[in-house]
Amino acid sequence: MTLLPDRSIAVVLGTRPEIIKLAGTVRLLGDAARVVYTGQHYDPELSGIFFDEFGMPRPDVHVGIGAERRGTQIGRATVGFDDLFAEDRPLAVVVQGDTNTVAAGALAANAAEIPLVHVEAGLRSFDRRMPEEHNRVIADHLAERCLAATAVNRENLLAERIDDERIVMTGNTIVEAVKRLMPEPGERSEILARFDIESGRYVLSTFHRPENVDDPTNLRRILVELANLPIPVVLPLHPRTVRRIEEFDMGEALSHLIVVDPIGYRDFLALGSESAFLVSDSGGVQEEVSVYKRPLIVVRRSTERPEVLGTFAELVEPGPGIGQIAAAWIENLDDVHGRLAQLASPYGDASAPELTVNAIAEVSDA
């Protein structure tokens, strides 16, 4: 990589997944990275602890947007980035994923005519009801470099007539993050003891997407299905989900679940890797399970990660399908785990952060 001047690359992020997936890139950039944080995950339990856990430097700049409507978040962040880039122009702007922060970073970089690098480009759910779909399309079409994790992502970009020379195949940075942060077996045992659960004899579940937690029918269906599973379910509750459960008066549905506060990433990896299986609506978890080889029930109407469907993940909408898939897995759990252990992750090896930095350096030198 070409040596870059100090604080010359603006790395824009605002949520927990962005911190997780960009930590390796920031570490390799070293003094060249200027971390710009929007606080889109405004709860410190969902963001602050992750800077510390990854040994990632606290942000150089904080562009606060907080818990606002989507349009307000994008508007405020775009103005904040525009002011920042006018005052201290970076050589390149890096965004990751499909958040409101990503859309704002892409718009501001484009307005300032600064090269944009979009990490995790080319994901498509083809579901226009998802705000994330619009955010990722904006970033891809404005980016100077679209860093695609898989061949499927690359084909999606080409289908939208994004020039091949703008596309770089890197794999997904999540692979490096999981491998680097996964606790050793002894530490995993200690973490399980803290939650009073046994390896392979529980389910780990998370939910936060509006389609699930803002819809009382869907939320109740999910909670009922989880409560009816024949093995314990550990459920770290996202603040959004807590608010909705209180609003819909569903507290009683939690009585059969092991409800815990949001947990750190290393704890989550330990719980996921030692679980029987996972049930979640998270995009990142769909990638992570392919690294530590556990099956996942994805409770959503669509997914932008088809690479894991039919192998590491099964897609189902809220309702009885959750229990049906779970029952089949529980009956043959050793076989399911053994089969997945033989499969390679579709998201590559641990080299994505290095390839990402090379792509950043290339546009910065142009």
Going by pLDDT thresholds of 50, 70 and 90, the confidence category of residue 43 is low
Residue 365, H or E segment? helix 352-365
pLDDT (mean) for 20-37:
95
333, part of any domain:
yes
Task: Write out the residue range of the structural domain in which residue 198 sits.
Answer: 181-341
pLDDT (mean) for 77-98:
97
Dihedral (C-alpha) 290, 295, 299, 304: value to the nearest 10 degrees?
Answer: 20
Supply the pLDDT for residue 47. 56
The domain tally of the chain equals 2
Going by pLDDT thresholds of 50, 70 and 90, the confidence category of residue 4 is confident
Going by pLDDT thresholds of 50, 70 and 90, the confidence category of residue 16 is confident
Share of the chain above pLDDT 90, in %: 84
> pTM for the whole thing?
0.93
Supply the pLDDT for residue 191. 97
Q: What's the CATH number where 228 sits?
A: 3.40.50.2000
CA distance 259 to 235: 5
Is 361 found in the same domain as 298?
no
Supply the pLDDT for residue 366. 60
Going by pLDDT thresholds of 50, 70 and 90, the confidence category of residue 298 is very high
176, part of any domain:
no
- Those residues whose C-beta lies under 8 Å from the C-beta of residue 295, and which sit 6 or more positions away, are 277, 278, 289, 312, 313, 314, 329, 336, 337, 340
Q: What are the angstrom distances between the C-alpha of 112 and each of 76, 78, 107, 246?
A: 16, 11, 9, 44
Supply the pLDDT for residue 12. 97
Task: Write the pLDDT tens digit of every residue in 149-198.
Answer: 999 999 999 999 999 999 999 999 999 999 999 999 999 999 999 999 99
Is 167 found in the same domain as 262?
no
21, part of any domain:
yes
Is 115 found in the same domain as 191?
no
Supply the pLDDT for residue 18. 93
207, part of any domain:
yes
pLDDT at 48 exceeding the cut of 80: no
- Residue for token pair 């002011």: 83
pLDDT (mean) for 6-12:
95
3, part of any domain:
no
Active-site residue (options: 41, 118, 141, 208): 208
Supply the pLDDT for residue 49. 67
Is 188 found in the same domain as 227?
yes
134 in catalytic set: no
On whether the CB atoms of residues 147 and 344 are closer than 8 A, the answer is no
Is 147 found in the same domain as 116?
yes
Supply the pLDDT for residue 323. 98
Is 158 found in the same domain as 25?
yes
Which of 98, 154, 56 lies closest to 282, judged by CA?
98
Q: CB 22: neighbour CB atoms within 10 A?
A: 28
- Residue for token pair 């092991």: 258
Supply the pLDDT for residue 95. 98
